[in-house]
C-alpha cells in the first residue's frame, strides 16, 4: 500500500514517531528517537511501533541490534511533510500522452486480479450492456448517485436518495444544493446509460455530461467547459496545468485511449485516475471521474 494511504491510518504513537523523524536531520537510533519525543513509550512498546512502521513500508532500518539507525522512506517523508512546505509537482503531459493502450498498465495486476475474482464469485456472467433490465439500471443509478454524492459530503442517506430519484420526494431539512447534487447525478448517469450501445464517449459527450452533473452548482459559463484558470487541490503539492490547449488535448487523448483499452478494469481505472490528474473542469472532476470510470464496466456487462 502506498505511503499516502498508510499514513492516514497511523495510531497516535506511530504519528509521534513519524513527526520525530521528520525533525531529525538524518538516520537516528531508537534511543535518540525516544529522546526527541515528548511522551515516549516504553522501550518494548517503541520497538513494536518501529517494527510495525517498517513492515508498512514507512521506515528504513540501517544496521542491526543496538547500533541500528532509522529514517523515513522517501515516500513517507514527502507525504508526512506539510503540503505547504513540499516542492510543488507540476502537471506532466507525458503521463497521459505516454500511455499506450493494452501495453501500459496503471491498475496494479493484483488489484485487477481481485476484481476478476469478484466477478467469478458473483457467477461470472456478463450481461448485454444494451439490454440491462429496468431494475438493474434503476438500482445502479440509485447506488452510484448516493455513493458519489456521499463522497462529496452530501448528507442524503441511501433510502432518501432512492425516494428522491424514484418519486421526486426531497428529504426534509436538506439543503437544496444537496438535492440538486443527487438529481444531477441521476441526469448524468441516465445519459451515460442511454448511450452504452453507441460509440465510446468523446470529449464533447463528456462535456455534455458535465453540464448535467454540475447544473445549479457551478457558474453557467463554466458548465461543460474545459477550464481556463488555475485550480488548487487541498492537502497536496500537485499543481494541475492551467493551459487550456493542453487540458483540451489531454481530455481528448484520455478518452480515445480509454476507448481502446480491452481490459474494462484497466480502462475504468485509467478514466478515474486520468481525469482526477488532468482536472479538466473548474469543479466536479471527482464526480465526473467516478461517472466515467463506470462506462467501461457497464459496456463490458459488469454493472
Q: What is the CATH number of the domain that holds 61?
A: 1.10.10.10
Question: What integer pLDDT is reported at residue 124 of this predicted model?
Answer: 64
pLDDT of residue 223 exceeding 80, the answer is yes
Question: What integer pLDDT is reported at residue 1 of this predicted model?
Answer: 59
| Mean pLDDT value across the chain | 92
Question: What integer pLDDT is reported at residue 200 of this predicted model?
Answer: 97
Are 149 and 55 part of one and the same domain?
no
* Averaged pLDDT for residues 275-294: 97
Using a cut of 0.85, tell me whether the model's pTM lies above it.
Answer: no
Are 46 and 102 part of one and the same domain?
no
Question: What integer pLDDT is reported at residue 257 of this predicted model?
Answer: 99
Are 175 and 288 part of one and the same domain?
yes
> Do 196 and 130 form a contact (C-beta atoms < 8 A)?
yes
> Do 259 and 196 form a contact (C-beta atoms < 8 A)?
no
Question: What integer pLDDT is reported at residue 240 of this predicted model?
Answer: 96
Question: What integer pLDDT is reported at residue 3 of this predicted model?
Answer: 66
Question: What integer pLDDT is reported at residue 129 of this predicted model?
Answer: 66
Lowest mean pLDDT among 70-74, 81-85, 123-127: 123-127
**Other CB atoms within 10 Å distance of the CB of residue 47:** 12
Residue 159 sits in a domain whose CATH number is: 1.10.3290.10
Q: What would the pLDDT profile of 226-280 be if each residue is shown by its tens digit?
A: 999 999 888 788 999 999 999 999 999 999 999 999 999 999 999 999 999 999 9
Q: What would the pLDDT profile of 167-196 be if each residue is shown by its tens digit?
A: 999 999 999 999 999 999 999 999 999 999
Question: What integer pLDDT is reported at residue 131 of this predicted model?
Answer: 63
- In the chain, what percentage of residues exceed pLDDT 90? 73
Question: What integer pLDDT is reported at residue 79 of this predicted model?
Answer: 84
Alpha carbon distance 184, 179 (integer Å): 9
Question: What integer pLDDT is reported at residue 178 of this predicted model?
Answer: 97
Domain boundary among 81, 108, 128: 81
Are 177 and 70 part of one and the same domain?
no
Are 93 and 173 part of one and the same domain?
yes
Are 68 and 157 part of one and the same domain?
no
Question: What integer pLDDT is reported at residue 130 of this predicted model?
Answer: 63
Structure-model confidence comparison of residues 161 and 88, the more confident one? 161
Domain boundary among 81, 104, 121: 81
User: What's the domain count of the chain?
Assistant: 2
Question: What integer pLDDT is reported at residue 247 of this predicted model?
Answer: 98
Lowest mean pLDDT among 26-40, 100-114, 173-187, 210-224: 26-40
- Domain residue limits at 31: 3-81
Are 74 and 99 part of one and the same domain?
no
Question: What integer pLDDT is reported at residue 119 of this predicted model?
Answer: 87
Question: What integer pLDDT is reported at residue 69 of this predicted model?
Answer: 93
pLDDT of residue 101 exceeding 70, the answer is yes
Domain boundary among 81, 110, 130: 81
Question: What integer pLDDT is reported at residue 5 of this predicted model?
Answer: 66
Amino acid at each position: 500500500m502506498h505511503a499516502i494511504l498508510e499514513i492516514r491510518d497511523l495510531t497516535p504513537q506511530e504519528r509521534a514517531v513519524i513527526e520525530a523523524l521528520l525533525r531529525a536531520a538524518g538516520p537516528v537510533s531508537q534511543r535518540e528517537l525516544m529522546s526527541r519525543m515528548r511522551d515516549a513509550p516504553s522501550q518494548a512498546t517503541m520497538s513494536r511501533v518501529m517494527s510495525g512502521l517498517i513492515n508498512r513500508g514507512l521506515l528504513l532500518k540501517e544496521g542491526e541490534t543496538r547500533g541500528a539507525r532509522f529514517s523515513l522512506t522517501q515516500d513517507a517523508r514527502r507525504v508526512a511533510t506539510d503540503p505547504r512546505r513540499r516542492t510543488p509537482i507540476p502537471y506532466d503531459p507525458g503521463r497521459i500522452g505516454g500511455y499506450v493502450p493494452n501495453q501500459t498498465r496503471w491498475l496494479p495486476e493484483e488489484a485487477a486480479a481481485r476484481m476478476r475474482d469478484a466477478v467469478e464469485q458473483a457467477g461470472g456472467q456478463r450481461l448485454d450492456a444494451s439490454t440491462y433490465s429496468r431494475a438493474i439500471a434503476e438500482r445502479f443509478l440509485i447506488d452510484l448517485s448516493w455513493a458519489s454524492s456521499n463522497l462529496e459530503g452530501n448528507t442524503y442517506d441511501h433510502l432518501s436518495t432512492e425516494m428522491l430519484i424514484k418519486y421526486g420526494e426531497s428529504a426534509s431539512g436538506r439543503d437544496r444544493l444537496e438535492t440538486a447534487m443527487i438529481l444531477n447525478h441521476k441526469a448524468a448517469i441516465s445519459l451515460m446509460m442511454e448511450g452504452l450501445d453507441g460509440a465510446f464517449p468523446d470529449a464533447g459527450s463528456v462535456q455534455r455530461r458535465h453540464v448535467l452533473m454540475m447544473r445549479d452548482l457551478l457558474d453557467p459559463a463554466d458548465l461543460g467547459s474545459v477550464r481556463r484558470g488555475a485550480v488548487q487541490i487541498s492537502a497536496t503539492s500537485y499543481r494541475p496545468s492551467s493551459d487550456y490547449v493542453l487540458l483540451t488535448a489531454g481530455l481528448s487523448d484520455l478518452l480515445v485511449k480509454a476507448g481502446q483499452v480491452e481490459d474494462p478494469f484497466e480502462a475504468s481505472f485509467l478514466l478515474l485516475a486520468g481525469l482526477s490528474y488532468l482536472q479538466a473542469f473548474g469543479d466536479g472532476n471527482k464526480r465526473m471521474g467516478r461517472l466515467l470510470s463506470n462506462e467501461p464496466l457497464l459496456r463490458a456487462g459488469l454493472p
